[in-house]
């Protein structure tokens, strides 16, 4: 009878729909706002402040919108006035709606403003305060009430076990359905919410520590990638990779301080053939008197450098630099994506290490570091192998022709798709769909390149002091 608008807050969509079903049985008209029907939300929340309105909402629904007491006049004007209404009809309808909203607001203000009811307390005090803050906006009156049950998830999981035992005791004389308000209950509830907030904080803090491990590796990879993309040539970097791979191969086959009989020269020969595309007489070298692993390593490096120099001479410097950069970037991206997948799988099961009395975070750091080192070593090997095995059957002139053909195809595609109606006048309206010329690169000494590259309101590059649209950019 008071016509006071009510906003009922629930903790989940399921509970909002269960409450809606109960209100339907009681034949109480209401609206449900639970972020499931996005298109209707603006209309529902805008009218939640009308007299007698009952709105059920979750904490995520209708966020960022103030509930105006008496309703939202702009939203009613938008929905209630037909589009084909005349100016007189529209003005009369606007005046009527604004008068109804003003009168309705007076009724709501007299009833006490928006009344917020919480069906239960949320896990976070911040969410409770957000729900309370829906009422009493911008100086308007309002009130809020929260209901609590010892069977609520918050109280059942996080409150002291003695709470329900005390409340159900016959000695204090409580009956079913009887409301109880006591500072001790509020204190127990606050402690329960504090426990949840602390637990969620620790979860976020722990997750951030795990993410920082991956983030450090991500920074290193992207820093290397940007350096590769911005470099004119990465030949020096690739050469260092190849020399390091050769050094690792020799060290694995010829251990330090090992006798010549212990050298695994056959395995070294097969590895050099597979990775470097070189068939070298390594076994014969090993039989030479007084030869050491440094001499074998330098001979392999020399042969590999000669092979790559021959490929560069055959392809041309510019084209070979393009090939090196393409191979490195493609293999870097491929290995980084696989590494991220491995880290994700590691993250899913690393907490099981806690059963062995080991810190999961330290174990994750150690395992992630080893995986990253293995990935970088594998990446270097793949880059060296791919560049050593690739066969180039073109020269610099062929590469230049390929680039020119690519540019010609881009210009042709642009001519077929790009039109600019703003540059067409009434005189050539029949040619409205005619393609415009492909935009050339700007050259301040060539006026034919200015159109489309110089803003029309900028000064003309010719130095006349006029705006470009009144000078060389003037449309006849």
Q: For residue 402, what pLDDT band results from cuts at 50, 70 and 90?
A: low
Q: What is the model's pTM?
A: 0.57
The position carrying tokens 């809020």 is 144
Mean pLDDT of the chain: 80
Question: Beta strand pairing status for 54-58 and 114-118?
Answer: unpaired
Q: What percent of the chain has pLDDT over 90?
A: 13
Question: What's the pLDDT band for 451 if we cut at 50, 70, 90?
Answer: confident
Query: 444 or 311, which is more confident?
Result: 311
Q: How many CB atoms lie within 10 A of CB 339?
A: 22
CATH of domain 6-147: 3.40.50.300
Residues 173-210, buried b or exposed e (16+ Cβ, 10 A)?
eeeeeeeeeeeebeebbeebbeebeeeeeeeeeeeeeb
Q: Which ranges in 169-292 belong to alpha helices (H)?
A: 183-230, 235-253, 265-276, 282-286
More confident residue, 434 or 251: 251
Distance in angstroms (rounded) separating the CA atoms of residues 373 and 408: 44
Give the DSSP H or E segment for 55.
strand 54-58
Positive or negative, the CA dihedral 91, 95, 100, 106 is positive
* Most confident segment among 277-286, 367-376, 463-472: 367-376
Higher per-residue confidence, 147 vs 161: 147
Task: Note the pLDDT tens digit of each residue in 330-362.
Answer: 999 999 999 999 999 998 888 888 898 898 999
With CA atoms as reference, report the closest residue to 295 among 345, 334, 330, 246: 246
Could you tell me which residue, 429 or 174, shows the higher pLDDT?
174
- Between residues 163 and 463, which one has the greater pLDDT? 463
Question: pLDDT at position 390, please?
Answer: 83
CATH number (1.10.20.10, 3.40.630.10, 1.10.3060.10, 1.20.1260.10) of 218-389 reads 1.10.3060.10
For the cut 90, the answer to whether the pLDDT of residue 251 exceeds it is no
Residue 461: closest CA among 443, 435, 440, 439: 443
pLDDT tens sequence across 198-230: 888 898 998 899 899 989 999 999 999 999 988
More confident residue, 465 or 178: 465
> In the predicted model, is pLDDT for residue 177 greater than 70?
no
The residue extents of the domains of the chain are 6-147, 218-389, 439-475
Q: Give the DSSP H or E segment for 31.
A: strand 31-33
The arithmetic mean of pLDDT across residues 436-453, rounded, is 69
Taking the C-alpha atoms of residue 399 and residue 326, their distance in angstroms, rounded to an integer, is: 15
């Amino acid at each position: 009878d008071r016509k006071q608008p009510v906003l009922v807050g629930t903790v989940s969509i399921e509970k909002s729909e269960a409450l809606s079903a109960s209100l339907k049985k009681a034949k109480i008209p209401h609206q449900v706002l639970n972020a499931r029907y996005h298109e209707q939300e603006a209309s529902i929340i805008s009218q939640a402040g009308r007299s007698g309105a009952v709105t059920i909402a979750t904490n995520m629904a209708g966020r960022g919108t103030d509930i105006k007491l008496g309703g939202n006049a702009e939203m009613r004007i938008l929905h209630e006035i037909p589009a084909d209404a005349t100016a007189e009809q529209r003005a009369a309808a606007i005046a009527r709606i604004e008068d109804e909203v003003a009168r309705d607001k007076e009724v709501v203000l007299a009833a006490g403003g928006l009344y917020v009811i919480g069906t239960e307390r949320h896990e976070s005090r911040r969410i409770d305060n957000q729900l309370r803050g829906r009422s009493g906006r911008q100086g308007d009156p309002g009130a809020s009430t929260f209901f609590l049950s010892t069977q609520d998830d918050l109280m059942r999981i996080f409150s002291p076990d003695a709470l329900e035992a005390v409340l159900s005791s016959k000695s204090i004389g409580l009956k079913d359905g009887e409301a109880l308000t006591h500072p001790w209950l509020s204190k127990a509830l606050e402690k329960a919410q504090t426990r949840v907030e602390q637990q969620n904080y620790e979860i976020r803090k722990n997750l951030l520590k795990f993410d920082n491990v991956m983030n450090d590796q991500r920074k290193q990879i992207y820093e290397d990638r940007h350096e590769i993309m911005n470099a004119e040539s990465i030949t020096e970097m690739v050469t260092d990779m190849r020399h390091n791979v050769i050094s690792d191969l020799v060290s694995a086959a010829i251990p330090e301080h090992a006798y010549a009989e212990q050298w695994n020269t056959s395995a070294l020969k097969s590895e050099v053939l597979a990775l470097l595309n070189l068939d070298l007489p390594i076994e014969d070298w090993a039989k030479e008197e007084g030869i050491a692993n440094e001499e074998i390593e330098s001979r392999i490096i020399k042969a590999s450098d000669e092979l790559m120099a021959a490929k560069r001479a055959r392809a041309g410097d510019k084209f070979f630099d393009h090939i090196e950069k393409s191979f490195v970037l493609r293999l870097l991206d491929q290995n980084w994506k696989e590494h991220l997948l491995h880290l994700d799988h590691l993250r899913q099961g690393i907490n099981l290490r806690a059963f062995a009395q080991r810190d999961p975070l330290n174990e994750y750091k150690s395992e992630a570091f080893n995986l990253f080192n293995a990935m970088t070593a594998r990446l270097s090997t793949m880059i060296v192998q791919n560049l050593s095995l690739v066969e180039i059957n073109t020269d610099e002139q062929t590469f230049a022709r390929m680039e020119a053909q690519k540019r010609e195809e881009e210009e042709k595609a642009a001519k077929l798709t790009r039109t600019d109606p703003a540059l067409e006048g009434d005189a050539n309206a029949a040619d409205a769909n005619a393609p415009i010329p492909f935009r050339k690169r700007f050259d301040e000494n060539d006026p034919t390149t200015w159109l489309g590259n110089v803003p029309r309101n900028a000064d003309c590059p010719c130095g006349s002091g006029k705006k470009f649209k009144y000078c060389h950019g003037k449309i006849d």
